[in-house]
Amino acid sequence: MVKKSVLIVGGGGAGIMAAISASKSGACPILLEKNPKLGRKVLIAGAGRCNISNDELNPSFYNPDGRDLLTGVLKRFGKKEILDFFQELGLWTYVAPDGRVFPLTNQATSVMDVLKNELARLKVSVELEVEIKSIHAKGNGFELKTKSGETKFGDRVILCSGGKSFPALGADGSGYQIAASFGHTIIHPVPATVALVIEDSWCHPLQGQKIKARAAARVGSKMGEWIEGDVLFTKYGLSGTAILDVSDGLSIASNRNQNSDISVVVDLVPFMTEEELLEELKRKVGKGLTGEALLAGILPPKFAGPLKEYLNPKKIEQLATLLKMRIFSVESTRGWNEAEFTSGGVDLREVDSQTLESKRQKGLYLAGEILDVQARRGGYNLAWAWASGYITGIASATD
Ligand SMILES: Cc1cc2nc3c(=O)[nH]c(=O)nc-3n(C[C@H](O)[C@H](O)[C@H](O)COP(=O)(O)OP(=O)(O)OC[C@H]3O[C@@H](n4cnc5c(N)ncnc54)[C@H](O)[C@@H]3O)c2cc1C
């Protein structure tokens, strides 16, 4: 029997996995990547340590619209299957106390090395510096046009061209136009997991200051859930893990829904309730303390500047309320060049939930960040790239 040729557009985590899985399922995959090397985002993931998955991998960590589809996908290729897959390739991993899974070497290059070794072992054809400009259905297969004017033919296509975050690394959203040319709806992509631009008198004097805090997104009067983590003051606004984790809802409200009433609420003293904090401040006042001494031991001394007018025994009630719920009005996000993920993409209702085959075009599959799936930080996004790549690889080879 003649092997099916499967053209895979995009050599990121999803595309590499799709190529490996299609090859193992008996197809003849060709991996097409516009960059001079594969997996550039894998290499920078987790600040170069590559957080490949999470010990608690379940749909609740993903966007609500993605959860039904994720339930089916992760049942077939979830936490165990991802780890088994990498172990089989020879990658040793460990689980950090917060559940994130990393290579034991703490180096993303180890992840890329084992993947590239597997592509070579399976003799997968990899074509670098090939940028696909258009895809058309032709006969029982597809015709792809490259930027340099070449034409390529294949029986099946898996579109793994990523989202829009970090466009310098390759994924610039061009895949959305290709998907749209087949009639797909693109849910307006917006930057996700991204620092916030805030014009507030606190940010400049506190720039560089990082504290353990809690943050919550607020759109109009509706507040989201509190997320604990770092809050980092910068010259343009706020960053840090807690801010990145609440940024998605704010980015959607601002960039997709044109809502300008968006803010982030920060609890600067998450280790005490407001009542406990007030008691503590009263205790200090009782000892004759005032000014900066009221804050000492609770917040770093830099906070004394912006809080000056409240460091007064007569204002400790206002101070306690402010420290527990400081509201920062958000101007915008720092945009695509700094966003770790994309929120939005190809509408999930338009792909088969079992195979991720397009419902608009038979033989076309979609995997990875191009689809409207995203999760908070923690290895969930790469887990999605691996899982969706794996499933489309099998489906394209065997349907
Ligand atoms: C700074 C940063 C850190 C991150 N850290 C983590 C982490 O630790 N853990 C985690 O789970 N997630 C992390 N992520 C997110 C994760 O890396 C992505 O969600 C995931 O890599 C997406 O995989 P993908 O294959 O769908 O897309 P991509 O990795 O973006 O791959 C798409 C590929 O397609 C190529 N391409 C695009 N258009 C074309 C075309 N027309 N023709 C040919 N090729 C094309 C691109 O060059 C690119 O190589 C991080 C992201 C960033 C930006």
Q: Mind listing the domains of the chain with CATH numbers?
A: 5-190+340-398 (3.50.50.60), 196-333 (no CATH)
* 49 Cα nearest atom in ligand 1: 8
Helix and strand tally (H, E) in the chain? 11, 21
Residues 35-80 pLDDT 10s: 999 999 999 999 999 999 999 999 999 999 999 999 999 999 999 9
The protein residue with its alpha carbon nearest to ligand 1, atom 30, reads 162
Backbone angles phi, psi at 374, to 5 degrees: -155, 155
The protein residue with its alpha carbon nearest to ligand 1, atom 3, reads 45
The protein residue with its alpha carbon nearest to ligand 1, atom 23, reads 13
Residues 264-320 pLDDT 10s: 999 999 999 999 999 999 999 999 999 999 999 999 999 999 999 999 999 999 999
Token pair recorded at residue 58: 């379940």
Distance (angstroms) between ligand 1 centre and the Cα of 150 equals 25
pTM summary value: 0.94
Those residues with Cβ within 8 angstroms of residue 279's Cβ, 6 or more apart along the chain or in another chain: none
The Cα–Cα gap between 74 and 389 comes to: 12
Distance (angstroms) between ligand 1 centre and the Cα of 108 equals 13
Give alpha helix (H) positions in 193-240: 203-206
Using only C-alpha atoms, what is the Rg of the chain?
Answer: 24
Residues 97-148 pLDDT 10s: 999 999 999 999 999 999 999 999 999 999 999 999 999 999 999 999 999 9
Distance (angstroms) between ligand 1 centre and the Cα of 74 equals 19
Token pair recorded at residue 279: 């008691």
Residue from 382, 388, 392 to probe ligand 1 pocket by mutation (most atoms less than 8 Å from CB): 382
Distance (angstroms) between ligand 1 centre and the Cα of 76 equals 22
Token pair recorded at residue 132: 């696909």
Could you please report the per-residue DSSP string of 360-396? SSTTEEE-GGGBS--B-SSSHHHHHHHHHHHHHHHHH
Nearest to 318 by CA among 274, 378, 280, 285: 274
**Beta-bridge mates of residue 280:** none
Distance (angstroms) between ligand 1 centre and the Cα of 163 equals 7
Q: Is 369 in the pocket of ligand 1 (CB under 6 A)?
A: yes
Query: How does DSSP classify residue 337?
Result: T
